Structure 1
Amino acid sequence: MDLKWLLLSFDGRIGRKQFWLWNISYYLFLSMLGSALAQMSPTVALYAVPCMSLILLYPDLAVTAKRWHDRNKSNRFLLLNIPLIVGRLLLPVSAQAETAEGLSRLFSLIALACGLWILVECGFLKGSQGDNSYGEAFKN
């Protein structure tokens, strides 16, 4: 598999295995980075992890788009990532400021619902059988 295609292209399809490998690597990397930086300076970690998440946003969306394609769904489903992305980027602000508790809870519930939808659709459900409008069936 071409790594450049996997991380930089929004075309084509991938299976659940590739989706899980990317996500496990992504979250493991962010967790290790956050833990290492928190040992040196919690404040640095608080800002560095969202920055790294922003840097990895394009590859993350590219991989997820390919998985949506395997389910025969359009890139519009990437809009479900917006509450998750905003939550990651606002981590330093929410950790240091008093936020409106009701609004924060509502946003968290929306992000949770979107995250669960993505997890179930992309992580657990099979792709469409055979070729679809987004390309040939993915072969491991």
Structure 2
Amino acid sequence: MDFKFLLLSFDGRIGRKQFWLWNISYYLFLSMVATAIAQVSPGTALYAVPVLAIILLYPDLAVTAKRWHDRNKSNRFLLLNVPLVIGRSLIPMSAQMETGEGLSRILSLIALICGLWIFVECSLLKGSEKDNDYGAPFDNGKA
């Protein structure tokens, strides 16, 4: 697989297998970095992991865009990621503040709903078996 295509392009399609592999790698990497940072400096992990998630945002969106394309849906569905990005970057910090508790809960609920939608559509549902508006199926439609 061409990693440049996978991580930097918003064109084309990928199957569920590639989407799952990306997400497992992504969260495993974030978990390992968070654990390593927490062992060295516990307070730093709270801020370092959201920064790392923002750095990895572009490749994450590129992979997700291709999965939406496999479902014959436009990149506009990437807007469902906005609450997830806010949740990954702001909720851990706002939870530390007393005034941010209510806002944190609301953002968490919205992020949960959007995350579930993305999970079902991109992780569980099969893509178009034939050519669609975004090109030919990846891996002959087997993913």
Check conservation: 2:91, 2:104, Cα contact below 8 A: no
Q: Deviations over 1:21-44 (max 9, x none)?
A: 000000000001001110111111
TM-score (norm. length: structure 1): 0.95
Q: Deviations over 1:34-70 (max 9, x none)?
A: 0111011111111111111011000000000000000
User: 1:91 Cα shift?
Assistant: 3.9
Q: Counterpart amino acid of 2:81?
A: N
| Matching residue of 2:18 | 18
Cα distance, 1:44–1:100 mapped onto 2, change above 3 Å: closer
Counterpart amino acid of 2:90? L
Deviation sequence 1:89-111 (CA, Å, 0-9, x none):
11452242113443332221111
Tell me what 1:54 maps to: 54
Counting matched residue pairs gives: 140
1:70 aligned residue? 70
Residue of structure 1 in register with 2:88 after alignment? 88
- Verify the 8 A CA contact 2:91 2:107 in the aligned structure 1: no
Amino acid at match of 2:54: L
Q: Please say if residues 19 and 122 of structure 1, whose CA atoms lie closer than 8 Å, have aligned partners that are also in contact.
A: yes
Q: Tell me: CA distance 1:94–1:101, structure 2 relative to 1, closer, same or farther (3 Å).
A: closer
| 3-state SS in 2 of match to 1:11 | coil
For 1:95 and 1:104, the matched residues in 2 are separated by 6
| Greater Cα offset, 130-139 or 101-110 | 101-110
Q: Which residue of 2 aligns with 1:129?
A: 129
Q: 4+ residue runs of structure 1 moved beyond 6 angstroms? A: none
Unaligned runs of 5+ in 1: none
Deviations 1:101-134 (A, max 9, x none): 4333222111100000000000000001200000
Counterpart position of 2:114:
114
**What does residue 44 of structure 2 align with?**
44
- Whichever residue aligns with residue 33 of structure 2, its letter is L
Matched residues in 2 for 1:44 and 1:103: separation?
23
Return the letter of the residue paired with 1:75: N
Range moving further from structure 2, 99-108 or 52-61? 99-108
Contact 2:47/2:93 (CA < 8 Å) preserved in 1?
A: no
